Amino acid sequence: MKVAVVSDIHANLHAFEAVLEAVAESDAHELWCLGDLVGYGGDPDPCVELTRSHAAVCLGGNHDMAVVGELPLEDFSRGAGLAAQWTREVIAPENLAFLATLQPQDSEGPIGLYHASPRNPAWEYVLSALLANLCLDVQRERVALIGHSHVALSFTRHEGETATGEPRREGTQLDISRGEWLLNPGSVGQPRDGDPRASWLLLDLDEQRASFKRTSYDIAGAAGAIRAAHLPDSLAERLQYGQ
């Protein structure tokens, strides 16, 4: 079975629709979402509704948890806090109720699913080999998927060695049949690796292969939605730079 993995949609409808179209054109059988359906972007309701319709598995991210009141807004940056407060005020009750059902981890299957990390499912940014080693030490599954950092990357560790990893560009294909792995699909709605295109991952569970994907979308339209919501202009401006 092949699975399309997305994370950090952040209410960016233009990016999410483009990714869903690309997923539909692929040979993926299911869509898994690692959380942060809302936050930063100007279209929370349609992004939650599309996730509810398309995702076979969905986690909750720290921004989702902030909107439903499980995390204090004071823990977030100014822009993120303002976006979460605005989302609380405008989101439909049924979509808010859906967000409240989500958890930041799901480790019931053969693949570990964590919004942020196996050590701290809601908050930890795994961006170094040191942190990857610490996560792999507590990770029960041989392969785990993580989001949160907005950077497409992978870390691997083989017996008797320390973890190594790096950011992954479009078209990278990995054989994950051996060793321990942490895979991050990157962000749909706000990539931070210098590539403004929406990022996602195609995971072949049978062949044990992972392919990193990028999809172009209407960045100006997404920025316009942020400005129409009167959210900080920096949230709109950064999209074109992939930062």
- Domain spans, the chain: 2-241
Say what the pLDDT of residue 198 is.
98
Which of 106, 122, 11, 18 lies closest to 66, judged by CA? 122
Q: Tokens 């294909």 sit at which residue?
A: 173
Q: pLDDT tens digit string along 140-167?
A: 999 999 999 999 999 999 998 999 999 9
User: Tens-of-pLDDT digits for all 243 residues of the chain?
Assistant: 999 999 999 999 999 999 999 999 999 999 999 999 999 999 999 999 999 999 999 999 999 999 999 999 999 999 999 999 999 999 999 999 999 999 999 977 789 999 999 999 999 999 999 999 999 999 999 999 999 999 999 999 999 899 999 999 999 999 999 999 999 999 999 999 999 999 999 999 999 999 999 999 999 999 999 999 999 999 999 999 999
Q: What is the pLDDT of residue 13?
A: 98
**Top-level class of domain 2-241:** alpha beta
Task: Provide the whole-model pTM.
Answer: 0.96
Place of tokens 């972007």: 41
The secondary structure of the chain in percent helix, strand, coil, rounded to multiples of 5, reads 35, 20, 45
Residue whose entry in the numeric block shows the structure tokens 């054109």? 25
pLDDT tens profile 97-132? 999 999 999 977 789 999 999 999 999 999 999 999
On the 0-12 / 13-18 / 19+ scale of CB atoms within 10 A, 53 is: exposed
Residues 6+ away with beta carbon under 8 Å from 15: 9, 188, 189, 198, 215, 217, 222
Helices and strands, number each (H, E), in the chain? 8, 12
Q: Rounded CA gap, 29 and 204, in Å?
A: 10
Residue 104, helix vs strand vs coil? coil
